Amino acid sequence: MSSAARRDLGTWGRYSRWVNKHRKWVFAAPAMIFIALLLIFPLVWTLYLSFTNSKGSVRAPFDFIGFENYVKVLTDTERFWPAVGRTVYFTGGALLFEVILGIAIALMLWKPFRGEKLVRVAILLPLVATPVAIGMMWRLIFEPNIGFANEMLSWLGIPAQPWLSSPDTALSTLIFVDVWQWTPMVTLIILAGLTALPEEPDEAARVDGANWWQRLWYVTLPLLAPTIIAAVILRGIDALKTFDILYATKGKGGGSFHEVETLNTYAYGLSFDYNRYGQASTVLILFFLMIIGLIWILSLRKKALNK
């Protein structure tokens, strides 16, 4: 393009040059504005609602009541603190099994072998399956009288278990379901980390006469630590927020004894089953602070490991 042609571009040309010059913002702005509108405003609104007694209907008037909700929620040992405990138990339990099994399966898949495709397909299926449908599927499998789970136990001579139907075992059973669905995710992340590892440290250890366990424990796992923490953060955030399977299997209030009610389903119930928006917002603000705190601690640890 000659300089004479560039000068004669006209209005459209000047417009196009402006867009090109500021493409950084022209490209980013629509997406950023969309996210900010749907995110920042609701966050501020939730914070505001947490200081009000908003309830009943969406249009009903409500008053500013200061820290009353916070006092009420933080001293509530009937629903709030048990929900905190169950959230921690569910997330911790699921993460523990998912990380151990995820690493084990990834190690088995590490080096290529025949029939690898089949395993990869099997690993992908739970990840893409619709959680509500999966919840329904496990409900039938864990049905005490007709389910596949107790049928299998009877083959092994183990007495039938109540699974989801008893308040004592329901949450642990749901940890099992979460492990079934999301261990593959951890496997994929760890596998990606394993393939990216340098081979030299492992070979050096091999030359020094280290056996398989020693190389795994002293070489591979420490090198893999940042990836493992990334998987824990990713999976941890989603496990904390688990909703679909809990609500689909045990319904409103997390069962008749609230046996599977976590912070997320508790806040949902307060909002949309009981219309207590003010109190729900307080629970959500506390929950959100908890998540941010955990991520902050974990990423500090990850940074230390990356150095």
Partner 1 sequence: MSATTLLVLPEARRKKFPLPSFARFLGLALVVFALVAPLVWMVLASFKTNVDIYDPSKFFSFVPTLANYATVFGQANYAAYIWNSFFVAFVATVLSLVLAVPAAYSMSRFVMGKSAMVVLLARIIPGVSLLVPWYFVFSQMRLVGSYTILIMSMMFVSLPLILYIMMSYFDSMPEELEEAAQVDGLTPIGAFLRITLPLSMPGVATAGILSFIFAWNNFMFALVLSGSSTKTLPVAIFDFVGYASIDWGGLMAAAVIVTLPIMLIALFTQKYIVSGLTAGATKG
Stretch 68-87 residues interacting with partner 1 (CB under 8 A): none
Q: Are 174 and 164 in contact (CB under 8 A)?
A: yes
Count of residues engaged in binding partner 1, rule: CB under 8 A: 106
Quickly tell me which residue has 């619709």 as its tokens. 130
- Cβ proximity to partner 1: between 110 and 257 the closer is 110
Q: Which of 14, 151, 158, 160 binds partner 1 (CB under 8 A)?
A: 151
Q: Which of 65, 243, 257, 298 binds partner 1 (CB under 8 A)?
A: 243
In whole angstroms, what is the distance from residue 264 CA to residue 80 CA? Answer: 11
Task: Tell me how far CA of residue 169 lies from CA of 65, 165, 218, in angstroms.
Answer: 39, 8, 37
Q: Residue 251 interacts with partner 1 (CB under 8 A)? A: yes
Site stretch for partner 1 (CB under 8 A), options 66-74, 76-84, 109-117, 163-171: 109-117
- Cβ proximity to partner 1: between 40 and 74 the closer is 40
Which H or E element spans position 102? Answer: helix 80-109
Q: Which of 68, 76, 89, 120 binds partner 1 (CB under 8 A)?
A: 120
Q: Tell me which residues in 266-305 interact with partner 1 (CB under 8 A).
A: 267-268, 271-272, 277, 280-281, 284-285, 287-288, 291-292, 295, 302
Q: Residue 207 interacts with partner 1 (CB under 8 A)? A: yes
Q: Are 124 and 184 in contact (CB under 8 A)?
A: yes
Site stretch for partner 1 (CB under 8 A), options 77-85, 156-164, 190-198, 253-261: 190-198
Q: Are 240 and 291 in contact (CB under 8 A)?
A: yes
Q: How far apart are the first and last CA of the chain?
A: 49
Interface map 152-171 toward partner 1 (x if CB under 8 A): --------------------
Task: Tell me how far CA of residue 260 lies from CA of 67, 100, 132, 164, 276, in angstroms.
Answer: 28, 24, 16, 10, 20
Q: Are 60 and 277 in contact (CB under 8 A)?
A: no
